[in-house]
């Protein structure tokens, strides 16, 4: 009788378990789909109109981002201070608009800090597992290939190989900076050899390398060369399959060089031209590496002078050149952009914005530098881990020599790459219910709520876009401004 009773009860129990399993899978699939939509939109659709500076561009990106942020529930898995720091960056960026003279002129710029902080949180909270990290890395790599294809037709249509490839950023340096992460992440997917992600690497990495060369961005090319070499060293230092990884690295390098040289001749052009023809044309007009370096040093100096005179809240978004005209010699080169995104935050937002922003970037830099040192010293068994670390280092380094993050789409993409590299470091320990852990949980929820609020306010305030980066406070300052 007992056996019969068990056999009679068994089928309903197994039947009841199947719906529960399906519900569990659906619960896991929901966040995955939303994160997929957010990452793809940020890296593919967001840059489509002038790097995310067109009207409603940032607002449209906030919709899938907020959905993904709520779905991954970062307050349950991330350290409370990470969420608090991300929220502080987003809210302080908006506060600068309230306390400086330009006001909400730079609302699009202010909102991009919150959008990028939220992107970092979404990716770091989601990509804690290897298969998720592979998926996001492949998405970023494919986005680089798409950006190259969008740039190829206008560049080819110019019929002049010395034309700079600019993509949908409409500026060569930032187009090259956008392709840095796809190039290195694609190389990492090639080295890992994991199907189907490796196919994204074999296609996306060579196209990204070619795009960087054709952009004529010498800074991007130098950073790419360094990162590509570091990946080769890490492949050689691998604790498993070192010979196979080195062979793949050499094959990827050969294909990237072949693709780069292949686009420089027939059938795209009637005769073959050097891939670096655009860089040579820029140098011939006086834009040498030495000359551009001198201008950047001058602009960095101006940013520090403006910060010195406006240490609390800065000069406001777009007002750096307006203030620098009053404080520096008349023959100095002018630009509303410091060509260094870390100094830019201090010049425009003072300690109010620069403090939390530098703290966040500093924490990321310490973690990335430590992981890079360990990888070089001990070797690695996972090429993707090495790739995301090198890619994060590259995008942060290039931001120190140009105005990458003045483009919201490039800022958000860099945040996604950095979040991918820092995914393991942001995970909190399991909460046991003691008072200290409950307090941490409350702080994490508060930080996430404040971050969501900052993204919502920023998406509404920045709906008009921000193509113009120059705030002209006085007619005299406007006449004296020479943008370079």
Instruction: Give tens-digit pLDDT for 146-157.
Output: 999 999 999 999
Q: Inform me whether the pLDDT recorded for 1 exceeds 80.
A: no
At 427 the three-state DSSP class reads strand
Residue 235 in contact with residue 242, Cβ under 8 Å? yes
Residue numbers of the domain that contains 72: 52-480
In-domain check, residue 35? no
For 400-431, the pLDDT digits (tens) are: 999 999 999 999 999 999 999 999 888 775 55
Percent of the chain surpassing pLDDT 90: 75
Q: Inform me whether the pLDDT recorded for 31 exceeds 70.
A: yes
In-domain check, residue 44? no
For 8-28, the pLDDT digits (tens) are: 334 444 444 444 545 656 677
Among 87, 99, 93, 95, smallest CA distance to 112 is for 93
Of the given ranges (67-81, 271-285, 308-322), which has the lowest mean pLDDT?
271-285
Contact partners, residue 105, CB within 8 Å, separation at least 6? 97, 316, 317, 318, 471
Q: What is the pLDDT of residue 484?
A: 39
Q: Inform me whether the pLDDT recorded for 139 exceeds 60.
A: yes
Average pLDDT of the segment spanning 50-79: 94
| DSSP summary character for residue 78 | B
Q: Inform me whether the pLDDT recorded for 274 exceeds 70.
A: yes
From CA 338, how far away is CA 342, in angstroms rounded? 9
Which structure tokens are listed for 81? 């201070």
> What is the value of pTM for the model shown?
0.91
For 72-113, the pLDDT digits (tens) are: 999 999 999 999 999 999 999 999 999 999 999 999 999 999
From CA 317, how far away is CA 95, in angstroms rounded? 11
Confidence band for 480, pLDDT divided at 50, 70 and 90: very low
Q: What number of other Cβ atoms are within 10 A of residue 472's Cβ? A: 18
In-domain check, residue 405? yes
In-domain check, residue 14? no
Q: Inform me whether the pLDDT recorded for 174 exceeds 60.
A: yes
Average pLDDT of the segment spanning 331-343: 94
Confidence band for 379, pLDDT divided at 50, 70 and 90: confident
Rounded mean pLDDT of the chain? 89
List beta partners, residue 483: 334
Give the total number of structural domains in the chain: 1
Which structure tokens are listed for 118? 């939220």
Q: Inform me whether the pLDDT recorded for 220 exceeds 70.
A: yes
Q: What is the pLDDT of residue 447?
A: 95
CB half-sphere exposure, 45, CA atoms < 13 A? 17
In-domain check, residue 97? yes
Q: What is the pLDDT of residue 471?
A: 86
| Phi, psi angle pair for 78, to nearest 5° | -100, 155
From CA 476, how far away is CA 484, in angstroms rounded? 18
In-domain check, residue 326? yes
Q: What is the pLDDT of residue 23?
A: 61
In-domain check, residue 21? no
In-domain check, residue 9? no
């Amino acid at each position: 009788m007992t056996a019969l009773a068990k056999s009679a009860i068994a089928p309903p129990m197994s039947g009841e378990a199947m719906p529960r399993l399906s519900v569990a899978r659906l619960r896991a699939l929901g966040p995955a789909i939303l994160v997929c939509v957010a990452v793809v939109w940020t890296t593919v659709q967001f840059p489509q109109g002038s790097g995310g500076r067109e009207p409603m561009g940032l607002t449209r990106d906030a919709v899938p981002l907020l959905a993904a942020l709520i779905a991954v529930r970062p307050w349950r898995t991330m350290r409370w201070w990470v969420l608090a720091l991300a929220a502080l960056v987003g809210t302080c960026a908006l506060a600068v608009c309230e306390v400086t003279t330009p006001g909400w002129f730079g609302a699009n710029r202010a909102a991009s800090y919150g959008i990028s902080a939220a992107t970092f949180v979404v990716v770091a909270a989601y990509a804690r597992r290897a298969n998720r990290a592979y998926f996001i890395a492949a998405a970023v790599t494919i986005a680089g290939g798409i950006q190259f294809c969008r740039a190829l037709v206008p560049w080819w249509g110019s019929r002049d190989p010395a034309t700079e490839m600019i993509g949908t950023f409409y500026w060569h340096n930032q187009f090259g900076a956008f392709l840095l992460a796809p190039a290195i992440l694609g190389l990492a997917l090639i080295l890992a050899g994991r199907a189907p992600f490796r196919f994204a690497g074999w296609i996306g990495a060579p196209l990204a390398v070619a795009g960087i060369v054709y952009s004529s961005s010498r800074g991007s090319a130098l950073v790419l060369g360094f990162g590509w070499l570091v990946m080769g060293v890490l492949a050689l230092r691998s604790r498993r399959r070192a010979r196979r990884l080195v062979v793949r690295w050499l094959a990827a390098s050969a294909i990237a060089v072949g693709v780069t040289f292949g686009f420089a001749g027939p059938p795209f052009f009637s005769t073959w031209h050097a891939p670096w023809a655009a860089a040579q044309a820029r140098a011939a007009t006086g834009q040498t590496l030495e000359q551009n370096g001198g201008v950047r040093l001058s602009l960095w100096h101006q940013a520090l002078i403006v910060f010195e005179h406006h240490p609390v809240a800065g000069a406001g978004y777009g007002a750096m050149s307006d203030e620098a005209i009053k404080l520096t010699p008349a023959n100095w080169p002018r630009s509303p952009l410091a060509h260094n995104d870390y100094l830019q935050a201090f010049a425009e937002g003072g300690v109010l914005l620069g403090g939390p922003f530098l703290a966040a970037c500093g924490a990321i830099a310490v973690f990335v530098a430590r992981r890079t040192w360990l990888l070089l010293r001990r070797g690695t068994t996972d090429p993707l881990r090495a790739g995301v670390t090198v890619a994060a280092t590259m995008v942060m380094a290039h931001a120190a020599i140009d105005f990458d993050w003045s483009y919201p789409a490039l800022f958000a993409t860099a945040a996604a790459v950095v979040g991918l590299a820092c995914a393991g470091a942001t995970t909190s320990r399991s909460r046991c219910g003691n008072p200290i852990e409950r307090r941490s949980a409350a702080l994490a929820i508060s930080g996430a709520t404040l971050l969501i609020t900052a993204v919502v306010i920023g998406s509404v305030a920045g709906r008009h876009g921000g193509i113009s980066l120059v705030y002209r406070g006085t007619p005299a300052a406007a006449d004296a401004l020479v943008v370079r």
